[in-house]
Amino acid sequence: MICDTGNSEFGHDVTVVAASRPFQVVLDFATGSLTPFSASFVRSLSDMAHAFEDQEAVARVLESGDDPVIYRSNYPDIPDEAGHLAFLTTIISPGTVGSEFYMTKGHHHCRDSAELYMGLSGQGIMIMESHGGDFSQQELVPSAPVYVPPGWAHRTVNTGSAPLTFLAAFFGDAGHDYSSMERKGGFSMRVHRGEDGPQLRRSATRDEAGAPL
């Protein structure tokens, strides 16, 4: 399995915090900022153009000269070692590409291990898919943490009209594997803006049994 081991794939300009000693960060629920000890990364549409289903819509946006920020994440520099507990905040902008809501790339963890998601502000949906192809969705809203069991790939989707902010905590040595889901043709279900609100639709890249087409 091709695997991005550790958390270093997140990293640019990490402000080092000595995580061998207790520390505290200030978390702003509205903006997702973590101060003072955090670095961040940004994913714009051009960084994840292939994640969206409607490639003509992607091309229209990018060819217009626009490259919207889909989401950004903030994180303290916690060692990617067993025993540590890493955490990030993520802020997904509101919006759609075609009718598909803005979302994260989504990943498995290299070492199957659980993760806890806590909504901070806004509203969204987590879509999750096991190695065997089982599918699950959970609302992501403040005050209702979502538990992601080991072995379930996860993607978060902003279904609201405001930014969706959330905190995720995972094992320091979990690592992030984006390519397994990409090789399958992405997640089997996608979240679109429907007439009566968010609508889950089967991905055009997967058949009814969830197999890649």
Site for ligand S6P in 113-142 (CB under 6 A): 115
Site membership for ligand S6P, residue 168 (CB under 6 A): yes
Site membership for ligand S6P, residue 106 (CB under 6 A): yes
Over the window 52 to 91, marking each residue x when it contacts ligand S6P by CB under 6 A and - when it does not, the resulting string is ---------------------x--------------x-x-
Nearest to residue 110, comparing CAs of 200, 171, 163, 187? Answer: 171
Distance CA 49, CA 68 (A): 11
Distance from chain centroid for Cα 149? 15
The two three-digit tokens of residue 70, written as one number: 């889909």
Q: Which residues pair with 190 in a beta bridge?
A: 201
Distance CA 73, CA 23 (A): 20
Over the window 111 to 140, marking each residue x when it contacts Zn ion by CB under 5 A and - when it does not, the resulting string is ----x-------------------------
The residue (of 102 and 210) whose beta carbon lies closer to ligand S6P is: 102
The residue (of 61 and 80) whose beta carbon lies closer to ligand S6P is: 80
User: Which residue sits closest to Zn ion, CB atoms considered?
Assistant: 115
Site membership for ligand S6P, residue 187 (CB under 6 A): no
What does the CA dihedral 25, 27, 33, 39 come to, rounded to 10 degrees? 30
The distance in angstroms from the start CA to the end CA of the chain is 21
Q: 120 with 165: CB under 8 angstroms?
A: yes
Site membership for ligand S6P, residue 170 (CB under 6 A): yes
Give the binding site for ligand S6P (CB under 6 A). Answer: 73, 88, 90, 104-107, 115, 154, 156, 168, 170, 176
